[in-house]
Amino acid sequence: MRIARSIFLGTACLAAAAAQGWAAQDLPIFDAHIHYSDQAWGPFPPELALAILDRGGVSRAFVSSTPDDGTLLLHAKAPNRIVPVLRPYRTRDDMGSWTKDPTILTYVEERLRRGIYRGVGEFHMGAGEVGDPVPRAFVELAARHKVFVHCHCDEGGMEGLARLRSDVRFLWAHAGMSSSAAAVERLLDRYPNLWVELAMRSDVAPGGTLDPAWRALFLKYPDRFLVGTDTWINAQWDRLPDILNSFRAWLRQLPPDVADKIAHGNAERLAASP
């Protein structure tokens, strides 16, 4: 009896999911913001990191690391699933000085010759550094190698980069971290080459309910948003499946075709050559 009842309930759930247009299994996510930096290598060897991605229902991921060797380690274990993005920091010490350091440019040019990378970043840059030589050179390199640029920057920094070349695709990390939906909309209106990822932006769905302003923006630009975890500290690896489930909770408040795009479709397009 109990078995029959659970089969009935299971079938009812499947039917409900189908009626809403959802597959019964979890919505796969292309995680647009993974780091596999040196502090993660000991506690989370590649096999464990990949097992955590399994548990999180991650179909593919953009991975960038300090140093880049972390990305290569993970990519070697799962070349179809791990999409390498070239982080310009050889060590954390480079974070504060990279925009004016010509040796960083040489390093990035050499690594890009491997031909495995789909992007350059994630790097951190303020609006006052847009005119510095290395970020400008990265945009030219991105055009030549047909890769995107992943910037953790404020609105001024993002706009300064995005206007440099309309034929380069830019991925705005954390939607500026604190930029409002209205501010993000203004940049999306102005720069068709701009894409936005929502790592660490729990304000998109306070208390689990999608904010109306963000919802309207996702419906206006369903092809321009991505989601990601940002494993910048090891605690984020532990929490990764929970973080992705919190994304799924608000993605399910959108029409299924829009949710599919933000969960994985848009990142798949960004990962492909322009």
* Cβ distance to Zn ion smaller for residue 84 or 222: 84
Residues whose CB is less than 8 angstroms from the CB of residue 37 and which lie 6 or more positions away in sequence, other chains included: 65, 66, 67, 70, 232
| Euclidean distance between the first and the last CA atom of the chain, given in angstroms as a whole number | 56
Least CB distance to Zn ion at residue 40 (A): 13
* Cβ distance to Zn ion smaller for residue 65 or 266: 65
Determine if 155 is a binding residue for Zn ion (CB under 5 A). no
Among 230, 247, 254, 260, binds Zn ion (CB under 5 A): 230
* Cβ distance to Zn ion smaller for residue 150 or 215: 150
| Range 49-78, binding Zn ion (CB under 5 A) | none
C-beta atoms surrounding 95 within 10 Å: 12
b/e code 68-89 from CB counts within 10 Å (16+ = b): bebbbbbbeebeebbbbbbbbb
Provide the pairing of β-strand 29-34 with 58-63.
parallel
* Cβ distance to Zn ion smaller for residue 31 or 260: 31
Count of positions on this chain that bind Zn ion (CB under 5 A):
3
Give the Cα separation of 104 and 98 in Å (integer). Answer: 6
Of 91-99, 134-142, 188-196, 225-233, the segment contacting Zn ion by CB under 5 A is 225-233
Residue nearest to Zn ion (CB): 230
Of 81-89, 92-100, 223-231, 238-246, the segment contacting Zn ion by CB under 5 A is 223-231
Least CB distance to Zn ion at residue 205 (A): 20
* Cβ distance to Zn ion smaller for residue 31 or 122: 122
Least CB distance to Zn ion at residue 194 (A): 18
Of 4-12, 143-151, 230-238, 242-250, the segment contacting Zn ion by CB under 5 A is 230-238
Least CB distance to Zn ion at residue 220 (A): 26
Give the Cα separation of 72 and 70 in Å (integer). Answer: 5
Of 7-15, 67-75, 81-89, 119-127, the segment contacting Zn ion by CB under 5 A is 119-127
Of 21-29, 94-102, 222-230, 257-265, the segment contacting Zn ion by CB under 5 A is 222-230
Which positions lie near Zn ion, rule CB under 5 A?
122, 230, 232
